[in-house]
Copies of this chain bind each other. A is one copy, B any other.
Amino acid sequence: MMFTVKHTDGDSQARTGRLYTPHGAVDTPVFMPVGTRASVKAMAPHQLLECGTQIVLANTYHLFLRPGDELISQIGGLHRFMGWDGPILTDSGGFQVFSLADFCRVDDEGVTFRSHIDGSEHRLTPSRAVKIQQNLGADIIMCLDECPDAGADGHSLRKAVERTTDWARECAQAHHRDDQALFGIVQGGTDLQLRRRHLEQMMEIGFEGYALGGLSVGEPKHRMYRVIRKITPLMPADAPRYLMGVGTPDAVIEAIAAGVDMFDCVHATRIARHGRVMTSGGPLTVRNAPYADDPRPLDEECCCRVCRQFSRAYIRHLIKSDELLAYHLTTYHNLWFMHRMMAAARQAILRGEFDRWRRIFYRRYYGEDPPAD
């Protein structure tokens, strides 16, 4: 993997660059749609390409449980399995173990948990997490980390950071596929001192990219922004910086301003399945009654296939009738919107006008100014 920063904005830390992977290049900042179970819900791979997707995230936890990483390896790896020839990033499985498993017990060597599907017991260790991700064969893989929730006390946070460092060291040792890049994850909740210390420890081990984990897990937004603004600039400038699990337009834009390069989130695709879409003028709940006879497209300024062909009235009808096509159309549009937003951000950075673009976007989308630093 290779990463080059092409341009850094004048007034902010925002930067645009290019990430080269064995399955193609990715322009950053980039938004990665989430293909939890080896499928971005309601989207075929060529439709992802069509709407601007450059790289897809898949969840190790889900794929490990079903259909199993060994089966995927046997079929020829995740790219072939899901028919997506572009870059893929897999998470370590840790976050889902902590948040989804029926039962989970963490110790210094790893975590034991029960499958949320059938209750079967499994164990995930740092080297096992790497091994599973090697079987899946993504271009970018993540270290196993312990991700405490927003309410964790100081002791738990420190303990989690300690374990995450130990585990990261083990992951780095287990990592040996040349065609995969291993990223480290920085934890520490909203404790800036702890975050800084953890980042230093991770940089000491040395990774091809660095991620901020444990954010957007329930803490107030301004505290999340503070961590992002203070910690991102301390990360190595020549490696990609990845903010995990964040994907609402406001948070993405604030993080870009702080120098983040990569994002993933289910937000855009999940709200789509609830009949909510993103438009130039802000979010719109197309399933609501006022749109029943609205002949306009979801977004009058959008030129995606959905907006060129279908009315709000039709899409609302599909949602009310529970037609599968509804979820495809709203998902397609929302992904197009996110990818267009990222492309606009990249252009603004190239022109050295990121802050101006950010203010215009915020006013149109949220009807207010962006938060002060």
Interface residues of A (CB under 8 A from B): 37-39, 41-46, 62, 66-67, 71, 74-76, 81-83, 292-293, 295, 305, 309-311, 313-314, 316-318, 320-321, 323-325, 327-329
Contact = CB atoms under 8 A, between A and B. Distances in A.
B325 A66 contact: no
23 contacts: A38-B314, A38-B318, A39-B321, A39-B323, A39-B325, A41-B325, A44-B328, A46-B305, A66-B317, A67-B313, A67-B316, A71-B292, A71-B293, A74-B293, A81-B313, A81-B314, A81-B317, A82-B314, A83-B310, A83-B314, A324-B324, A324-B327, A328-B328
A50 B75 CA distance: 28
A39 B43 CA distance: 17
Contact of A295 (B44, B76, B327): B76
B317 A37 contact: yes
Contacts of A323: 37, 39, 41
Contacts of A74: 293
Contacts of A62: 321
A325 B81 contact: no
A324 to B, nearest CB: 4
Nearest to A84: B309
A318 B45 CA distance: 14
Contacts of A328: 42, 44, 324, 328
A283 to B, nearest CB: 22
Contact of A67 (B44, B292, B305): B292
* Most B CB within 10 A of own CB, among A75, A316, A329: A75
Nearest to A70: B293
A293 B309 CA distance: 39
B76 A318 contact: no
